Structure 1
Amino acid sequence: MGALATFLSGCANKFRTYRGPEVTRLRVYKSQRMIVLDGTEGVLRTFPMGLGFAPEGHKQFEGDGRTPEGSYVIDRRNPDSLFHLSIGISYPNEADIAFAKAQGRSPGGDIFIHGGPRPGVDPKDKRDWTAGCISVTDREIEDIYAMVSDGTPIEIYA
């Protein structure tokens, strides 16, 4: 009985191990709702995704519900995320900050790729449910979390 409990607890671990080729870049295609993980010799994996609740256009201001577009890097990870696991995107960059400041507004921040959904939201009813983040399933974020290192470039396209 104890061996079975140990085995099952190992299956429930959200931290996966990845021993494949290095992920050298992430590409996010907002209109196609797709994340592509690239290695030195081509595409390693693709994942379907959801976006912010206002998916059209580049994120400009805190609370606009948009997902950023442009060149960023993966800059942090959160193993204790409210959304299972998450990896951070370096939004806002200097240009994002300058634009928002010129408008007298905050650019916002805390943009992540994460699992989900948040409590009370059924992603089957609304695919684009985040406040500007990129969402995948819990199983998919486990794979992405294991595969992608901090410092990896991410390009987000309209």
Structure 2
Amino acid sequence: MTIDRRKFLLAAPALLAACSGRRVLSYDGPQITSIMAFKQQRKLYLLSGNKAIKTYPFQLGFAPVGHKQFEGDGKTPEGAYIIDRRNPNSAYHLSVGISYPNANDRAFAEAYGKSPGGEIFIHGTPSVVEGKKDWTAGCIAVMNHEVEEIYSMVGDYTPVFVKA
């Protein structure tokens, strides 16, 4: 029996999350080839090629305008990143990691003698903050049932583009 790489990559997150007791959906649709997040519109798009497969509203860092530059600034990064990790045991239901900081982000912060920060995720929303407009420390927050879909649909190394 041969297991093709795509099927393994799509199934692995579900297997990991199943061990955590968190709900992870299965996904058998078109491959998600990129994620686009538009901060001003508060819209996240999962794309297969040029076609939007799913769209989600989201919440941002507590200082939503501008690109994240330093740890603790409350901003959400803008730029090109990838999904580089997933956390089935997230304090925010489920989460997929965004590869911030990249080399440019690190160099900019270093030039000012500061840390660029890190630990930026697309994650769920704890019930204590539902309904607040922007509350994260720089992450992109969606509702829990939405992050379950995202977690199942998006593979590691998927490109993520965050625009103002």
- Per-residue CA deviation, residues 101-146 of structure 1 (Å, 9 max, x unaligned), is 00000000000000012x7x4331x211100000000000000000
Q: Distance in 2 between matches of 1:112 and 1:41?
A: 23
2:129 to 119, 122, 134: 122
Higher helix share: 2
Q: What RMSD, in angstroms, separates the aligned Cα atoms of the two structures?
A: 1.3
Tell me the amino acid that sits aligned with residue 79 of structure 1. P
**SS at the partner of 2:129?**
coil
TM-score, scaled to structure 1: 0.88
Residue segments in structure 2 that go unaligned for 5+ positions in a row:
1-20
- Aligned partners of 1:102, 1:138: CA distance in 2, in Å? 38
Letter in 2 for 1:31: Q
Partner residue of 1:14? 23
Structure 1 residue 33 and structure 2 residue 39: aligned? no
**Separation of aligned partners in 2, 1:66 and 1:114:** 16
Work out which of the two has the higher radius of gyration on C-alpha atoms and give 1 or 2.
1
Tell me if the contact between 1:123 and 1:129 (Cα under 8 Å) persists in the aligned partners: no
Answer yes or no: is the 8 Å Cα contact 1:96–1:107 preserved in 2.
yes
Which consecutive residues of structure 1, in runs of 5 or more, have no partner in the other structure? 1-11
Alignment deviations for residues 47-72 of structure 1 (CA, whole Å, 9 cap, x no partner) = 00000000000000000000000000
| Aligned mates of 2:107, 2:140 — CA distance in 1 | 23
Moved over 2 A (4+): none
**What CA distance in whole angstroms lies between the structure 2 residues aligned with 1:157 and 1:39?**
18
TM-score normalised by structure 2 residue count: 0.85
Alpha-carbon distance, 1:45 to partner: 0.5
Q: Is contact 2:22-2:93 (8 Å) kept?
A: no
Which AA in structure 1 matches 2:158? T
> What residue is the counterpart of 1:79 in the other structure?
88
Match of 1:137 among 111, 123, 143: 143
2:122 aligns to what? 113
CA separation of 1:18 and 1:94: change in aligned 2, threshold 3 A: same
Matching of residues 56-75 of structure 1 within 5 Å: 56-75=65-84
Identity %: 56
2:143 partner amino acid: T
